[in-house]
Amino acid sequence: IDQVVEPASKIERPAFGAAHATHMPRAKKYDYLIVGCGFAGSVLAERLATQHGARVLMIDKRDHVGGNAYDELNEHGILYHKYGPHIFHANSDEIVSYLSQFTQWRPYEHRVLAHVRDKLVPVPINRTTLNTLYNAGLKNDEEAAAFLASRAEPVKDIRTSEDVVINAVGRELYELFFRGYTRKQWGLDPSELDKQVTSRIPTRTNTDDRYFTDTHQIMPLHGYTKMFERMLDHPLIDKALGTDFREVRNEVSAAHIIYTGPIDEYFDWRFGKLPYRSLRFVHSTIEKQQFQDVAVVNYPDAEVPYTRISEYKHMTGQEHARTTITLEYPSAEGDPYYPIPRPENQALFKKYEALADSTSGVTFVGRLATYRYYNMDQIVGQALATFRRLDEARTKVGAS
Ligand code: FAD
Ligand code: UDP
């Protein structure tokens, strides 16, 4: 990666959607205090304000809305995702039509290549991957299935992320595509992670090279942040950005709290810390129109310190003489991006969940508060379901 003109640390200046941080409105009374302005918090703020006429105060310790889906123009005018590439995909018409109130879309089918044995090959592994790596000359699905079956090592009781892959493609492909990547990304061997992690990636015998097969594969036409701004543009919604719940929890007057931060933090880590995996994003802008052929190239090789390189113009459709890319370096320290799916962590989460269930006046929602490896559409679905429950509870109170 030469020709880099802009080190990451310099791409800081927000172009829109940020830094209009308000001061904490202390005297005002609110129906809801919503902690976190990501998908979970924003969907609930919008629903409660527009459907219940509720007065909502949203806070976020960051100086912008959108949570991890936040995007902005960098100083070159290129739209990039501050917290790594966010690709929208969903099967639910309801979720898409809900979000469509706040944005137009552009069609975008995500494709990923992996750098393996000095070749760039499609991921998920498909027939093209096998033919390219092994010169296998597989002509149809049946031949590819037979090829994979001859390598697969059937696992009776599939529990771990290693089991899933070995069972489907055998040890060699597992080591080439999954072991190094997963060890880097999670700091754990795939055998130490629940099967749900690598189960996200299918194995194909056809030549479909799309990363997702969902019925909706679209990106917000003007970016995520613009969509959030429209969602939250309501006279009953106040925002206090750059505001940490821990510092204001005793100062805000609200009848109910919706909390979308880490659940263990809410309870002052009473039972110990829930492990989250973090990433360091290194954003760079390059003096050419295109850096790589597809939006994301994965680097499963354990010797390469980053996991993947993303190039935003593929996702956003933006035309520009330069291009912005992001390298992801996994790390144990930093913002909590990924809950780590493994049995002992789930057991610890269950203790916090039980405590949450017995805590009145607070609703826990979102990826950090429910400690699940959820995609954006799933969080929107979770937030809409939470709203329905609040709505039913309100109707009951109203009726009695
Ligand atoms: P978040 O977006 O994390 O929002 C929580 C907010 O709470 C944050 O803004 C945080 O600052 C705030 N907060 C936390 N603690 C406090 C506190 N004490 N006080 C005040 N505020 C606080 N999903 C997809 O569908 N497609 C993708 O391609 C995709 N790619 C991803 C790539 C990466 C690198 C990551 C990390 C995630 C990706 N996701 C993707 C998942 C997606 O980011 C989440 O599903 C979604 O953003 C979760 O929304 P949320 O509101 O639950 O949480
Ligand atoms: N994975 C891998 N090699 C790849 C792609 C994915 O080992 O080339 C594993 C890895 O453990 C990763 C998980 O599959 O964390 C899920 O991949 P996904 O692309 O869904 O990760 P995300 O976009 O959520 O970071």
3-class DSSP state for residue 46? helix
pLDDT at residue 11 in the model: 35
Closest CA to 383 of 99, 55, 60, 85: 99
pLDDT at residue 170 in the model: 98
Nearest alpha carbon, ligand 2 atom 7: 178
With a 6 Å cutoff on the Cβ, whether 84 touches ligand 2 is no
The amino acid that residue 182 corresponds to is T
pLDDT at residue 252 in the model: 87
Which of 89, 164, 175, 181 is the pocket-test mutation for ligand 2 (most atoms within 8 Å of CB)? 181
Cβ atoms of 184 and 190 closer than 8 Å: no
* Average pLDDT of span 126-153: 98
Cβ atoms of 225 and 70 closer than 8 Å: yes
pLDDT at residue 399 in the model: 75
Residue 400 has pLDDT above 60, yes or no: yes
Q: What is the largest CA-CA distance in the chain?
A: 72
| Alpha helix ranges (H) inside 152-223 | 161-169, 171-173, 180-186
Residue 121 has pLDDT above 70, yes or no: yes
CA 49–ligand 1 middle distance (angstroms): 22
The ligand that comes nearest to the alpha carbon of residue 169 is 2
- List the beta strands (DSSP E) in the chain: 29-35, 56-60, 71-73, 79-81, 89-90, 105-107, 112-116, 119-123, 216-220, 237-241, 253-259, 276-286, 296-298, 308-311, 323-331, 338-339, 362-364
H or E element: which one contains 279? strand 276-286
With a 6 Å cutoff on the Cβ, whether 114 touches ligand 2 is yes
pLDDT tens digits, 213-255: 999 999 999 999 999 999 999 999 999 999 999 999 989 889 9
Distance CA 93, CA 91 (A): 6
Closest CA to 180 of 195, 162, 164: 162
CA 155–ligand 2 middle distance (angstroms): 21
User: Average pLDDT, whole number, for the chain?
Assistant: 94
The ligand that comes nearest to the alpha carbon of residue 327 is 1
CA 194–ligand 2 middle distance (angstroms): 13
pLDDT at residue 6 in the model: 42
Cβ atoms of 387 and 95 closer than 8 Å: no
The ligand that comes nearest to the alpha carbon of residue 243 is 1
With a 6 Å cutoff on the Cβ, whether 177 touches ligand 2 is yes
CA 67–ligand 1 middle distance (angstroms): 5
Lowest pLDDT segment from 21-35, 132-146, 326-340:
21-35
With a 6 Å cutoff on the Cβ, whether 164 touches ligand 2 is no
Residue 142 has pLDDT above 60, yes or no: yes
pLDDT at residue 396 in the model: 86
Burial group, residue 177, by CB count within 10 angstroms (0-12, 13-18, 19+): buried
Under DSSP, the state recorded for 274 is P
pLDDT at residue 17 in the model: 38
Say whether the peptide bond before residue 124 is cis (omega within 30 degrees of 0): yes
pLDDT tens digits, 34-88: 999 999 999 999 999 999 999 999 999 999 999 999 999 999 999 999 999 999 9
Please report the atom of ligand 2 found closest to the CA of residue 201.
14
With a 6 Å cutoff on the Cβ, whether 173 touches ligand 2 is no
Ligand 1 site residues (CB inside 6 A) read 35-41, 59-62, 67-69, 83-87, 244-246, 260-261, 279, 337, 366-368, 374-377, 379
The ligand that comes nearest to the alpha carbon of residue 307 is 2
pLDDT tens digits, 364-381: 999 999 999 999 999 999
Cβ atoms of 376 and 271 closer than 8 Å: no
Q: What ipTM does this complex have?
A: 0.99
Going along the chain from its start, the domains and CATH numbers come out as 11-108+218-275+340-399 (3.40.50.720), 126-200 (no CATH)
pLDDT tens digits, 1-35: 444 444 333 333 333 334 444 566 666 799 999 99
Nearest alpha carbon, ligand 1 atom 34: 84
* Average pLDDT of span 144-153: 98
With a 6 Å cutoff on the Cβ, whether 178 touches ligand 2 is yes
Closest CA to 304 of 184, 172, 125: 184
